[in-house]
């Protein structure tokens, strides 16, 4: 289970979505994220979720994207329960939990369909500096690694007897600290190793570098973007 959840945020080069232009994929990802943040009604949020699930199924990423929802289930329960306590409205709690679920689906779809190199290419194409593009690309690259580290640390702590299912808040905080502290340490060590590797490879010696590949924005890329924009517009304008 841990491996499946971590793969929910790993680029799948064999998927159908991987064959699209990275600019089209980034635009679609932005549209889905913005739609997830702006759509509140449960029915519209459900339609958006179905669209992203169908898109993942058509591209061969259904298992990866669906496994991301397993990771989000505890947070969905917390969000729904907290909203119920505040507003005492089932409709509102369902809307907020669906919005978070759509954010997870949009993020998983973006990570599984676009590689870090493609993401850096798009940022450079937009006119950003090389250092800024590399910073965003490195962040994009390390999020799946952090997810895998988190799951491995949880498994190790469970083997050592840490109970993450306890309802005692003190024990729960203690258990989470046993996960977060090693995760932070591992992240710091990895960033130091990355800095040393970049220095040894002469990062920054050349001010300009050529992209390792070229892409062409074709008709099917335009159709993908238009479809995403049309769905977003319909969900915003139609009152349900």
Q: Residue 67 falls within a domain, yes or no?
A: yes
In a shared domain, residues 161 and 53: no
In a shared domain, residues 25 and 142: no
- Check: CB of residue 99 under 8 Å from CB of residue 115: no
In a shared domain, residues 92 and 177: no
Q: Residue 29 falls within a domain, yes or no?
A: yes
In a shared domain, residues 80 and 191: no
Q: Residue 120 falls within a domain, yes or no?
A: no
In a shared domain, residues 68 and 172: no
Give the structural domain span for 205: 126-209
Alpha helices in the chain (DSSP H): 2-6, 22-38, 42-59, 62-87, 90-113, 116-125, 130-159, 169-200, 219-237
In a shared domain, residues 204 and 220: no
Q: Residue 121 falls within a domain, yes or no?
A: no
Binned at pLDDT 50, 70 and 90, residue 1 comes out as very low
d(CA 64, CA 187): 24
**DSSP, res 205:** S
Say which range, 15-24, 157-166, 201-210, 216-225, has the weakest mean pLDDT: 201-210
Residue found under tokens 């932070």: 184
In a shared domain, residues 48 and 89: yes
pLDDT tens, residue by residue, 126-164 = 777 767 777 777 777 777 777 777 778 888 888 887 776
Q: Residue 36 falls within a domain, yes or no?
A: yes
- pTM confidence score: 0.69
Q: Residue 144 falls within a domain, yes or no?
A: yes
Total domains in the chain come to: 2
In a shared domain, residues 184 and 232: no
In a shared domain, residues 94 and 135: no
Binned at pLDDT 50, 70 and 90, residue 15 comes out as confident
In a shared domain, residues 32 and 98: yes
In a shared domain, residues 182 and 220: no
In a shared domain, residues 34 and 109: yes
């Amino acid at each position: 289970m841990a491996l499946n959840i971590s793969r929910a945020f790993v680029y799948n080069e064999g998927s159908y979505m991987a064959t699209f232009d990275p600019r089209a994929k980034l635009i679609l990802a932005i549209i889905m994220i913005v739609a997830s943040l702006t759509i509140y009604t449960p029915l519209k949020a459900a339609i958006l979720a179905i669209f992203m699930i169908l898109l993942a199924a058509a591209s061969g990423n259904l298992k990866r994207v669906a496994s991301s929802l397993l990771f989000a289930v505890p947070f969905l329960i917390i969000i729904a329960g907290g909203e119920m306590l505040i507003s005492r409205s089932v409709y509102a709690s369902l809307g907020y939990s669906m919005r978070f679920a759509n954010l997870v689906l949009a993020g998983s779809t973006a990570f599984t369909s676009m590689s870090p190199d493609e993401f850096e290419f798009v940022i450079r194409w937009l006119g950003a500096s090389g250092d800024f593009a590399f910073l965003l690309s490195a962040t994009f690259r390390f999020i799946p690694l952090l997810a895998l580290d988190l799951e491995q640390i949880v498994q190790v702590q469970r083997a050592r007897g840490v109970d993450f299912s306890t309802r005692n808040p003190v024990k729960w905080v203690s258990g989470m600290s046993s996960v977060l502290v090693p995760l932070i340490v591992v992240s710091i060590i990895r960033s130091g190793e990355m800095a040393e590797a970049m220095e040894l490879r002469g990062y920054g010696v050349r001010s300009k570098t050529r992209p390792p590949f070229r892409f062409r924005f074709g008709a099917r890329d335009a159709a993908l973007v238009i479809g995403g924009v049309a769905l977003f517009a319909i969900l915003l304008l139609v009152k349900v």
